[in-house]
Structure 1
């Protein structure tokens, strides 16, 4: 049976005889299970060594293009820069293109300029829009792999999506809100930064669907009333105005699922009107949310490990460039953080 390594190489790595390794590789009897495990471990170690040799001396320049509020872009940049040294012996550098708000044409222009700037790959957080799809496809057509992050552009030729299962995150938020409200018949406010981000739409869909399902389990036909605010771009000033208006119009709102951020402004709106927020669930452990969690203002934050995401995104781009192999994409685990288990 042919193998990617010579029997002698495997035997040296495992510290076993060539005859023993040969028996394991050919599935012959008379070999203990722990010996078979030693051979498999040796092969795995050789794979890692081969990857290290392949990376030695390689240089990569990745571009990070994101439309997102500064509080999230700062957290992701810190996480990514912390991971870059861990990608050695390859040398990986990143250029950052962050915008608080950006029109689709501006996003397309940013992506288009990368073709002339020698990029080896792109990590992208962008609206799911036909023009963005076309811009991604143009990059891929000239050999530039693109990984979408947090929110997907699934009909494009992007390499992969990295991040949480957004529908599952919304379902988790619905479960927490419903459990904490219990039998109290109160309305729920949900806030989105923009309806053009697929990830936010999936979170909303998961939230609404699960709320209805939980109501059906209790034998309630209608379920909880949901009040929606969208188009805030995650900016505090916009959010505060819209939330104040919504709270005045809907005096029965006592729970919030913040999909698009701006949680300090949301909390300030409740305080300004002297209103109680029984349950407040948000996303991402940024500095604002850390403060709100510690104070008990936020009930829970749905978080995913940004460093793990950054590492996976870079490794997938490196694999697309032929520098790695065996990198598989998996959804980021959704962590439910409260003031008792947050950092």
Structure 2
């Protein structure tokens, strides 16, 4: 079907292109009767503006800033690399996307970075935001300065952020609880299964929500499961390795382990060095080269994952829609929760034999 254009509207209303443009953009100087004729023509024809074409004609540039944690977290590295790759692709669509490293565990630093952003140099921000009052206030102030903010991966719903791009983390935690229950229930009759929990920090909303969702499932469906208090590894592999070793030593009868954040290489190494790989049911998050190899070896029982490419593309679309005052297509921007077992792992593109061998070595813990 041929697209209805502004020329068709002008012809239908019996006015000039300039008049239609003034009416559509709400500019003064048009009689009320003429406005009514143009609006009636728009309704009859079902005309919708081509925002992309209009912005090209106006040479509109979308200046977007993505604030993504640096460090050894492999998922955040994937997220940052996706943002850098997509920045190159959308440059031809008049989108200038800048990626800036932040420390997700330093709320003061993140708030300070947000405070330095101004509408004169930035049109929209996507941020992996720590759940602190200081960061919430910084998001609120940035929004008041006319810069829309999208939270990425971890939400900050109490803030004035315009949209959240990421999975439902409560649901992800519930999925982990179900998986642990399915793997463990009935395996050892009369045994009260003890479940260990590791988080980067419960101060990160996504980790706290995953923990809460998992505990909900235990209370509803597996009341015999005994949750062990959460250990916080700050998504650091060496720190997570040490606390996992201590956890296993303190609870030699542990049945399951759920890591709600990064630091997976530390958990993998601790389980494999202690001889408990495969005996302790380990549920982890995010598909990385290291978690893939551990899943294939049987150290990880199942992976809960999200698509970093989809999240970056979604954040770009959402910010552009907010800047243009256009509606957000909710179904398109919904981020799915993936569950991977060894049988349904996606193909590993471009991996050499040397790289695969390096990924399989659990003694290397520097990247999660």
TM-score per shorter chain, which class?
0.7 to 0.9
1:272–1:60 Cα change, 3 Å: same
Shift of 1:96: 2.2
Q: Does 1:193 align with 2:200?
A: yes
Aligned CA-pair RMSD: 2.8
TM-score, length-scaled by structure 1? 0.79
2-structure distance, mates of 1:89, 1:96: 17
Tell me the equivalent position of 1:127. Answer: 130
2-structure distance, mates of 1:283, 1:55: 40
Q: Does 1:235 align with 2:236?
A: yes
* Equivalent of residue 156 in structure 1, options 159, 162, 181: 159
Please give the per-residue CA displacement for 1:185-228, whole angstroms capped at 9, x wherever unaligned: 3311111101111111111110000112112xxxxxx4201123
Tell me the equivalent position of 2:51. Answer: 51
Q: Which stretches in structure 1 are left out of the alignment for 5+ residues?
A: 10-41, 216-221
Counterparts of residues 270-285 of structure 1 (less than 5 Å): 270-276=271-277, 277-285=279-287
Tell me the equivalent position of 2:259. Answer: 258
2-structure distance, mates of 1:295, 1:91: 45
Residue 105 of structure 2 contacts residue 130 of structure 2 at CA under 8 Å; is this kept in 1?
Answer: no
Shift of 1:231: 2.8
Residue 69 of structure 1 contacts residue 233 of structure 1 at CA under 8 Å; is this kept in 2?
Answer: no
Residue 171 of structure 1 contacts residue 203 of structure 1 at CA under 8 Å; is this kept in 2?
Answer: yes
Q: Which stretches in structure 2 are left out of the alignment for 5+ residues?
A: 10-44, 347-368
Q: Does 1:304 align with 2:306?
A: yes
Counterparts of residues 183-222 of structure 1 (less than 5 Å): 183=186, 184=188, 185=191, 186-215=193-222, 222=223
2-structure distance, mates of 1:252, 1:69: 33
Residue 58 of structure 1 contacts residue 90 of structure 1 at CA under 8 Å; is this kept in 2?
Answer: no
Residue 110 of structure 2 contacts residue 135 of structure 2 at CA under 8 Å; is this kept in 1?
Answer: yes
TM-score, length-scaled by structure 2? 0.74
Residue 69 of structure 1 contacts residue 234 of structure 1 at CA under 8 Å; is this kept in 2?
Answer: no
1:101–1:151 Cα change, 3 Å: closer
1-structure distance, mates of 2:284, 2:152: 18
* Equivalent of residue 286 in structure 1, options 288, 292, 297: 288
1-structure distance, mates of 2:78, 2:178: 27
Residue 83 of structure 2 contacts residue 99 of structure 2 at CA under 8 Å; is this kept in 1?
Answer: no
Residue 70 of structure 2 contacts residue 77 of structure 2 at CA under 8 Å; is this kept in 1?
Answer: no
Shift of 1:80: 2.5
2-structure distance, mates of 1:207, 1:275: 22
Residue 68 of structure 2 contacts residue 80 of structure 2 at CA under 8 Å; is this kept in 1?
Answer: no
1:76–1:283 Cα change, 3 Å: same
Shift of 1:99: 3.7
2-structure distance, mates of 1:168, 1:311: 22
Please give the per-residue CA displacement for 1:213-266, whole angstroms capped at 9, x wherever unaligned: 112xxxxxx420112333311001111111111111111113211101211111
More off after superposition, 200-209 vs 65-74: 65-74
Following TM superposition, where does structure 1 have runs of at least 4 consecutive aligned residues deviating by more than 3 angstroms?
4-9, 67-70, 81-89, 99-102
Pairs aligned (count) = 302
